[in-house]
Amino acid sequence: MYDLIIHGGMVALPGQPPALLDIAVSDGRVAAILQPGGDAEARDRLDATGRLVLPGALDVHVHLGHGNDISFPREAADAASETSAAASGGVTTIIPYILSAKEHSEIFDEIRTVTEAGSHIDFGYHLIISTEEQLAQIPAYIADYGVPSFKIFMNNRGGEGQRLGLPDIDDAFLFRLAQACAAHGGLVCPHPENIEVVHFLRDQVMAKDPEGTNGLASWNESRPPFVEADAIQRSARLARAAGAPIYMVHTSSGEALDAAIAARNEGVDITIETCPHYLTHDITWEGGTVGKINPPLREAADCDALWRGIESGAIDTIASDHVHRGIAGKDGGVWKASPGCPGVETILPVMLTEGHHRRGVSIKRIVSLVSEKPAKAMGLWGRKGALSPGFDADIVLVDLDATYTLQKDDVKSNAGYSIYEGREFTGRVTNTLVRGVEVYRNGQMVETTAGHGRYLRRSLNA
């Protein structure tokens, strides 16, 4: 007897268009894919009639912090609010970053415990590498903590890292990180910007627009696409020389995408990520400084180029770059406002609305972008990312034709706002299961599932 059978829905199996099937769940995993209408017995049944049944989405680019600090969660409530937001949008796994100048083993266990205490969904962690002590511990981070993915801020030069409490680094440091990843089974995740050129351009743009009157246009002009593209080609070449795979975060422009594709064509083992806000927003957005993000929102032509990258298969993953600072951080004009925005709860709704309904992107392709490819890139395939026997029963039910307008009061992130407020969506998540347990049911969080989430050790060599 199975624990649960989900029946009546159109199920998206790996690499296939949705089909009418039933899913059997036991011990928190997919036990079997069944033909509809069979006589299999189960302790519980969930009727998915009229709905699409998807594997849970993985958001592998999240900043989970505390208040205005995006370094890491400090208490269980930090994880509870943001994983509620995730679950309401069909995300069943997140991988946030730990940002610290401390050697990570000093703080990792405490962060894991705090996150597990509040999280409704499963999670891993990336580590940001900025010091010699951290770099020396790469083998231990991979072997002892199951963390094989490492972010490096290429823009931390000339004092730029002081805002985040991190020291300056250089290209040699990046290359040494790539060598360590190649030797021990790690993945390099660089934030790509040529910051020396950015500093020069910023001074020029600020001289022309000292009050930031031109808002998002000035922010984009101060950090234009070519500084992103330059760092992409440079980091990709260093990774290839070291023999390491590279994961290119938050690709924001057509020029950056072209640089990443060129690296792939030259033999670099590269995974290309973009974010929903780069697909839906540009420098003309009426929300102004609320849309200050780094890399910046770009021109409308860049949005179109990224959609073409999705349609062609060049882009591998969609992630949110979720930052849950409050809206007060956007005060002071574009030069003083904090960068970033919340987005974990709108990844799947954006892809269903803007991708599937508006542009005809197939459900199969969307599942690849938000579930399959992120799981494969981050060492979770076999557990996460697909509705297949043996995988965790991370399952999302979607009313594909339901329409709704996102209002401020709907936002579950403690950021308290969304850049999608007032936007109409088509395709609504109704139920989210994590390892067979409903954490979001009929449009409402199951609050008692705070603490259900578990830490995920990962390996790229599995």
d(CA 402, CA 52): 11
Tens-place pLDDT, residues 143-197 = 999 999 999 999 998 888 888 889 999 999 999 999 999 999 999 999 999 999 9
CB 82 within 8 A of CB 450: no
pLDDT of residue 37: 84
CB 427 within 8 A of CB 399: yes
From edge to edge, which strands make up the β-sheet containing 2-7?
29-34, 22-26, 2-7, 42-47
d(CA 347, CA 453): 20
pLDDT of residue 164: 84
Tokens of 7: 């029946």
If DSSP codes are grouped into helix, strand and coil, which group holds residue 73? coil
Determine phi and psi for 34, rounding to 5 degrees.
-115, 150
Tens-place pLDDT, residues 422-444 = 999 999 999 999 999 999 999 99
pLDDT of residue 72: 96
Tens-place pLDDT, residues 24-44 = 999 999 999 999 988 899 999
- Please name which of 278, 285, 273 lies closest in space to residue 304, comparing C-alpha atoms: 278
Determine phi and psi for 337, rounding to 5 degrees.
-60, 150
462 has pLDDT over 70? no
What is the average pLDDT across 64-87? 96
CATH of domain 2-53+391-448: 2.30.40.10
DSSP state of 351: I
From edge to edge, which strands make up the β-sheet containing 395-405?
19-20, 10-11, 52-55, 395-405, 424-434, 437-441, 444-445
d(CA 377, CA 387): 17
Mean pLDDT of the chain: 97
Q: Is the domain covering 56-377 a CATH 2.60.40.10 domain? A: no
Please list, residue by residue across 73-94, b when 16 or more beta carbons sit within 10 angstroms of its beta carbon and e when fewer do. beebebbbbbbbbbbbbbbbbb
Q: Which residue has the tokens 């072209």?
A: 258
Q: How many CA atoms lie within 13 A of 340 on its CB side?
A: 21
What is the average pLDDT across 341-362? 98
Distances (CA, A) of 284 to 213, 250, 288, 296, 420: 13, 20, 8, 12, 15
- Please name which of 27, 117, 125, 121 lies closest in space to residue 75, comparing C-alpha atoms: 117
If DSSP codes are grouped into helix, strand and coil, which group holds residue 74? coil
149 beta partners:
187
Tens-place pLDDT, residues 444-454 = 999 999 999 99
Sorted by where each begins, the domain ranges of the chain are 2-53+391-448, 56-377
Rg, C-alpha atoms of the chain: 21
Percent of the chain with pLDDT over 70: 100
Q: What is the greatest pairwise CA distance in the chain?
A: 73
Helices (H), 209-314: 215-222, 225-242, 254-265, 276-280, 300-312
CB 7 within 8 A of CB 47: yes
pLDDT of residue 387: 98
Tens-place pLDDT, residues 293-315 = 999 999 999 999 999 999 999 99
Helices (H), 243-355: 254-265, 276-280, 300-312, 347-350
d(CA 61, CA 374): 10
CB 87 within 8 A of CB 439: yes
CA dihedral for 57, 270, 70, 288, sign (positive or negative): negative
Distances (CA, A) of 384 to 57, 393, 418: 9, 8, 27
